[in-house]
Structure 1
């Protein structure tokens, strides 16, 4: 066989596998629209969350920290309200990424348009204002509430991975403009009637902490402090 052909073939194979093993930057929002329900993936700061919902009701969510090796995505399940016994296990997904599409188990997820904002990141609630106008710190512990914000989408999740506890979630789209933080609810595990609601808050980053104030979805006054996790 011609040595030039052999060398060319070897270089092609090496280049192929080198490309296949390159880590993808998965940060973003991916949506699969199904006939019965939608599946949304939020990926930010090495943390992912998968949500299933339809226009009228919430179905389930699961997620946790992940690592990516080649086309294998592995994540530790920190919450899964539909299958609580899976919390603490590791799940592996085989991915294909191409032209803004994410293929997972035969499903095509379309990457949503990037809308980077200052609040994008993984946050954990670390303080609340008391009735005495003092901030009560919330130390890091097994039970926690985290919030993922990426490309105009958000989700909060109240969990306790140590006890496989799940206490609620909600999410949708958000904007932050001139100190005004606005959410539009796409799903809410505690009350489907809140789907479609628009909620307005004050939002400000001070010393790398997010100060979030206004009124909750139930109409209660809130003042929360969130820190990047």
Structure 2
């Protein structure tokens, strides 16, 4: 009798375990689950991914050696547990531009795993606390407090900033020729009308890496006015518009 009871208990536990595992495998990942910044790797090979609700940007760099390694990104969406990415730029391989890449994701204890590459990403932020979360396109410049908008800021040449709650990337690329031009990024904060960033990588000059810069920021008719001194020297007074407004 004891043997029968033991076998029955073992059977019930086995079935319960299978059902539990099946229920976990059926859990769907929502868009909001991966919005924000994610990272993996060592300081010598650091990778940071920023996800807004539609745009993603990935940068790999040697923080200590002040060396840029690569950048790629574009738009993304979630379908079930699949991350579907449409590549708009790729500094290593322009042939990837325009392609759709599908990756299987798994969320476990706040970690994001990409099954195809075995990459395990740790969350860096959830889109907060910075006030500039989103994808922004440079659309003009201010002169004497008056903005002059560019005729074609979105196509074919595009300069974009992608920000989470604590991290930022900027990228310049050509949509038509699939050419990657420049990139930079690091961490940022916003407080009392001041936008402060610390540069972790910069393709134009490694001398800018490690610098902390503070700018004035404000919102004018939905645009972001970005005013201060460039990391390479000289004044700047730029107008950035939300990408979503240019895609309408």
Answering whether residue 56 of structure 2 is matched by residue 42 of structure 1, we say: no
How far apart are 1:226 and its partner, in Å? 0.8
Q: Quote the residue 2:138 is aligned against.
A: 125
The two structures have a TM-score, normalised by structure 1, of 0.87
Query: What stretches of structure 1 of length at least 5 have no aligned partner?
Result: none
* Residue number in structure 2 paired with 1:71: 81
**What residue is the counterpart of 2:41 in the other structure?**
33
Given that residues 45 and 122 in structure 1 are in contact (C-alpha distance below 8 angstroms), is that contact kept between their aligned partners in structure 2?
no
Alignment RMSD, CA only? 2.3
For 2:196, the equivalent position in structure 1 comes to 182
Measured against aligned partners, the alpha-carbon deviations of 1:2-58 in whole angstroms (never above 9, x if no partner) come to: xxx9xx989879855642x34352101111023740111111121111111011211
Q: Which is higher, the Rg of structure 1 or of structure 2?
A: 2
Unaligned ranges ≥5, structure 2: 1-11, 244-248
The answer to which structure has the higher helix fraction is 2
Report the secondary structure of 1:78's partner residue: strand
Q: Distance in 1 between matches of 2:26 and 2:125?
A: 28
Which deviates further from its counterpart, 115-124 or 207-216? 115-124
State the shift of 1:116 in Å.
Answer: 2.4
Aligned pair partner of 1:96 in 66, 83, 106: 106
Mapped pair 1:59 → 2:88: no
Within 5 Å, give how 1:124-203 maps onto structure 2. 124-130=137-143, 134-138=146-150, 139=152, 140-203=154-217
Change (3 A) 1:103 1:206: same
Task: Classify the secondary structure of the residue corresponding to 1:49.
Answer: strand
CA contact (8 A) 1:88 1:161 kept: no
Supply the distance in 2 between the matched residues of 1:159 and 1:76 (Cα, whole angstroms): 15
1:76/1:226 Cα in 2 relative to 1: closer, same or farther (>3 Å)?
A: same
Residue aligning to 1:228: 242
Q: How many Å separate the matches in 2 of 1:58 and 1:16?
A: 38
